[in-house]
Amino acid sequence: MESDKVTKTGTTTLGIVCKDGVVVATDTRATLGTLIAHKATKKLYKIDNHMALATAGLVGDLQVLARYLNAEANLYRLKRDMKIPVESAATLMSNILNQRKFYPYYVQLVLGGFDNTGGHLYSLDAAGGAIPDKYTSAGSGSPYVYGVLEDLYKDGMSIDEGIDIAIRAIGAAKRRDSASGGKTNVAVISKDGYKEISEDEINKRIEKLEK
């Protein structure tokens, strides 16, 4: 689906709904055919202060869509003096993608966020399909992620548990999927807003998980 002449993220992304929020995570490798073009590619985007967009696909398409959704979320907040509901943001992005389904954006998106009805997670495809779920993954590393999530995910898990499972799942994909690699980026979205986990904390958790 993607041309080897353009940079693509290859990619492993995931989202997990926890008891008090949502965890979203990605790797950072971008490929150009068999070449590792970039080792620290941004695939995790803050949308307003209550959502995260994890992206897989062509880098140019992903960056445009992230900027578009962030702008629309900010406009919604300014016009209505409230944050856009996660479901509404997913519907908006779905409509944008569907309008281009005959000349599509080459993307897979994971949209997670927390609003006044709790934590929500959506998987969006290039044709505009938007599917809510408790956990999801996108990109070439997703089969390895699903192996971890199917085994370890449980309803009502804490954010702390969700972070560890996300790190474990991204790590499994990086070990087995050649298009995934680099660092692990993790964001938590809760009633307190959007927060990215520091590289130092992620590394400490990786060391603990490996013992």
Domain boundaries, the chain: 13-210
Q: Indicate the burial class of 1 (C-beta count within 10 angstroms; 0-12, 13-18, 19 or more).
A: exposed
pLDDT in 10s for each residue of the chain, 211 residues: 344 455 555 689 999 999 999 999 999 998 887 888 889 999 999 999 999 999 999 989 999 999 999 999 999 999 999 999 999 999 999 999 999 999 999 999 999 999 999 999 999 999 999 999 999 999 999 999 999 999 999 999 999 999 999 999 999 999 999 889 999 999 999 999 999 999 999 999 999 998 7
| DSSP SS3 for 165 | helix
Residue 2: what pLDDT? 40
Listed residue (158, 198, 183, 149) closest to 42, CA to CA: 183
Q: What is the DSSP letter of 82?
A: S
Residue 4: what pLDDT? 44
Contact 187, 46 (CB under 8 A): yes
- List the CATH code of the domain at 13-210: 3.60.20.10
What's the predicted TM-score (pTM) here? 0.93
Cα dist from 102 to 148, 153, 187, whole Å: 35, 36, 33
136 is a catalytic site residue: no
Q: Considering 9, 11, 31, 55, which one is annotated as catalytic?
A: 11
